[in-house]
Amino acid sequence: MNTNRRTFLQLASGSALALTGGNFLQSCMNSMNMGDMSDVVIGSETGLSLRLPPVWNGGAISAGSVNLDVQNTTIQAWAMGGSVLAPTIRLRKGTAFSAQLQNQLSTETNIHWHGLTVPANMDGHPKDVAQAGGSFAYNFPVLDRAGTYWYHPHPHKNTARQTYMGMAGLFIVEDPAEAALGLPSDEFDVPLVLQDKRFQQVKRFVYAPSMADVMTGFLGDTVFVNGVPVPYLDVENGAYRFRILNGATARVMKLGFENGMAFHVIGTDGGLIDAAERVTSVMLSPGERVEILVDFSSVAINGSVLFKTLDFTLPAAPASSTPHGSTSGMTMSNYKQGVAMPIMRFNVKRQTSRQTAIPTTLTPITRLNTAEATKTRTFALNMEMMSFEGGTSPHGSTSGGEMMRHTINGKLFAMERVDEKIAFGATELWEFQNKGDEPHPMHVHGTQFQVLSRSSGTLTAVDKGWKDTVLVNPGETVHVILRFDKYRGLYLVHCHNLEHEDDGMMLNFEVA
């Protein structure tokens, strides 16, 4: 039975669909805590300075609990490498990476090297984990072009929790072609990892998603940057390179400055694009990265400018994908996509002595040829009513019956099942069809791809480089081209709304 969130809302608001062991409506209302919905208070500027993650200098990477000091409050978080965020790994293309994960958590974990092309047994598939108290050795060559990649846990049904609690870090690859461009470097090359958290009421990291949160994603009220809530950074009135990762579990962000100041996009998930593109905002979904150049010369010395996620409205799914009618005005939670939230403030404190010219050309991208594609695959993204046996359901119910689940091609993830078989060396066309009314950032392991088209219109600057994650809006179809010529083995395609992923919106594909 195909359905979607709107259908779910209609059922929850006026239907009497029964579950074995209980009433569906009552189960939904209890799970959503419908009687305890106060207005969300958006986190404001804290006056805390931006913190840069430490740099990884080799050796083991531990996973365990740490104490994080935030606004005179000690918060328990989970960390990789002893810090939140995890240490930034910087390596040159062509070098070898080797590190052992030491799991000091009370649950299994692993590391997915997001965006990097690595052997299948090194990729962080949920079947390859370090048990509590155990370890896992990662060894692989760095094959990818210069770019901003990242790493985070990928255990089945627990990826969102572990990432939310602080287990994420950047993996920056450098190469001579990029170095020759003379882009801002050292202190003027700044990583910004953005994560939203529910922080205003509890002042702790508490990950406790309701059924509503599983439907939409666990959305927060405060943006943390490199583990600091709404911080500031003192800058010169010159050009800076910012490497931005949307490391949230679910929140899509429309990034821009409060004063409408323009900036230049220079890179996407897989490194630099052909030429810098001037914009005043960019959409960035969970898992995506964007590299931007910001010239602060238009801001007066001792002036400042606020960087935000701006307000926006998600495109509506067409009526054909919502056959049971509209539920306009209804909501399951006060936490919503598209809400304006402050991210950080830049205080212009110093006169620069550096050259601030924006490069006209960057590093050329070799475009994959659609004429070489040997197969087209379709991935239909939906929500469906699915049966489950007695015991604990994915949403916490303890009785058997039916539950809404996130699916790809009508399937939920199965650890060992091979859903798609791909010939090694093949070039393929994939189309992601969003059949519902929630956004789905789709991530492919084991290769990078190029976005060819969107059914909703033209490509944006964030679509124009090498990609591993692409936002597919409600009712939208996105076409990409991929080549599988690096490694054989079992890899994943999934939604990078991590609540959706943990709910089963993930498939295996095998390159052989």
Q: What is the DSSP string of 51-105?
A: -PPPBP-SS-EEEEEEEEEETTEEEEEEEETTBSSPPBEEEETT-EEEEEEEE-S
Neighbours of 130 (CB within 10 A): 21
Cα-based distances in Å from 440 to 135, 274, 382, 405: 32, 27, 10, 14
Q: What is the pLDDT of residues 163-196, one digit of tens each?
A: 999 999 999 999 999 999 999 999 999 999 999 9
Q: How far apart are CA 307 and CA 296, in angstroms?
A: 12
366-511, what's its fold? Immunoglobulin-like (2.60.40)
Q: Give residues with Cβ within 8 angstroms of 317, minimum separation 6.
A: 4, 6, 434, 435, 436, 437, 474, 475
Cα-based distances in Å from 52 to 228, 234, 468: 10, 13, 25
Q: Which pLDDT score is estimated for 138? A: 98
Q: Assign 358 a pLDDT band (cuts: 50, 70, 90).
A: confident
Judge whether residue 9 has pLDDT over 70.
no
Q: Give residues with Cβ within 8 angstroms of 163, minimum separation 6.
A: 152, 153, 247, 249, 498
Q: Do domains 61-175 and 186-350 have the same CATH topology?
A: yes
Q: Where are the alpha helices (DSSP H) in 389-508?
A: 498-502
**Short-list 478, 494, 477, CA closest to 317:** 477
Judge whether residue 144 has pLDDT over 90.
yes
Judge whether residue 388 has pLDDT over 90.
no
Q: How far apart are CA 285 and CA 254, in angstroms?
A: 9
Report CA 417 to chain centroid distance, whole Å.
25
Report the mean per-residue pLDDT for the chain.
89
Judge whether residue 84 has pLDDT over 60.
yes
**Is 205 or 7 the better-scoring residue by pLDDT?**
205
**What strands, in cross-sheet order, belong to the sheet with 89-92?**
89-92, 169-174, 147-152, 112-114
Cα-based distances in Å from 27 to 9, 46, 104, 250: 13, 39, 36, 24
Spatial contact of 128 and 212, defined as CB atoms under 8 Å apart = no
What are the tokens at 484?
A: 């599988």
Burial of 98 (0-12, 13-18, 19+ CB in 10 A): exposed
Q: How far apart are CA 402 and CA 22, in angstroms?
A: 11
* SS3 call for 356: coil
Mean pLDDT to the nearest integer, 207-221: 95
What are the tokens at 95?
A: 């070098």
Cα-based distances in Å from 114 to 101, 217, 429, 490: 16, 20, 21, 15
Q: Assign 325 a pLDDT band (cuts: 50, 70, 90).
A: very low
Q: How far apart are CA 249 and CA 258, in angstroms?
A: 24
Judge whether residue 374 has pLDDT over 80.
yes
Sorted by where each begins, the domain ranges of the chain are: 61-175, 186-350, 366-511
Q: How far apart are CA 205 and CA 197, in angstroms?
A: 7
Strand intervals (E) in 338-462: 341-350, 373-388, 401-408, 420-422, 427-434, 440-444, 449-454
CATH number listed for the domain at residues 186-350: 2.60.40.420
Q: Which pLDDT score is estimated for 34? A: 38
Spatial contact of 342 and 397, defined as CB atoms under 8 Å apart = no
pTM: 0.91
Q: Assign 389 a pLDDT band (cuts: 50, 70, 90).
A: low
Mean pLDDT to the nearest integer, 114-119: 98
CATH number listed for the domain at residues 61-175: 2.60.40.420
**Is 12 or 153 the better-scoring residue by pLDDT?**
153
One-letter identity of residue 295: D
